[in-house]
């Protein structure tokens, strides 16, 4: 009963007009808070991590900052109405700056250190996300032009038949 009421309230919230208007901003802020929260956790310095633990943690860093770049891009694409390169570039810059501030924040956490290497690893994830956004944009343009060419050729064929 409680779960059903909770589901209903969540559905009402999601369908609300104001929520839909600010959903992208809320998602971005929640993701940034999640990164901040996870960076605030002290690592257990007494365990010796294996190479696989190290790689998994660094891949998680790349992923979380790639998602952040996508969320920033999504907002910029909606609000700026400029060329996609502008939006991708600013998404890259904002995300790398957040990664640098995250590493700086980690210098204040006991058992954590902020390193330039981690900023570079985070930036690699951002770069992959921006590259995928670029590829998606060009793929859509190619498909769009193919659709236009197909429509034109079908119209030309219809014109020849009459």
7-34 mean pLDDT: 79
6-15 mean pLDDT: 70
Three-class SS state of 35: helix
Q: For position 21, what pLDDT does the model report? A: 74
Q: For position 136, what pLDDT does the model report? A: 92
Query: Considering the chain, what is the average pLDDT of its residues?
Result: 85
Helices (H), the chain: 2-15, 17-40, 51-79, 84-106, 116-161
Global pTM value: 0.76
Q: What angle, rounded to 10 degrees, do the helices at 116-161 and 51-79 form? A: 50
């Amino acid at each position: 009963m409680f779960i059903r009421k909770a589901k209903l309230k969540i559905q009402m919230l999601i369908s609300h007009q104001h929520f839909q208007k600010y959903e992208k901003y809320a998602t971005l802020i929640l993701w940034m808070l999640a990164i901040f929260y996870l960076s605030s956790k002290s690592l257990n310095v007494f365990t010796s991590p294996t190479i696989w633990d190290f790689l998994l943690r660094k891949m998680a860093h790349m992923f979380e900052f790639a998602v952040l770049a996508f969320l920033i891009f999504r907002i910029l694409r909606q609000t700026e109405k400029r060329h996609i390169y502008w939006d991708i570039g600013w998404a890259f810059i904002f995300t790398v700056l957040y990664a640098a501030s995250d590493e700086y924040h980690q210098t204040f956490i006991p058992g954590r250190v902020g390193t330039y290497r981690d900023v570079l690893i985070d930036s690699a994830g951002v770069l992959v996300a921006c590259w995928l956004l670029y590829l998606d944009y060009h793929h859509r343009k190619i498909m769009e032009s193919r659709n236009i060419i197909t429509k034109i050729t079908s119209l030309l064929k219809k014109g020849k038949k009459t």
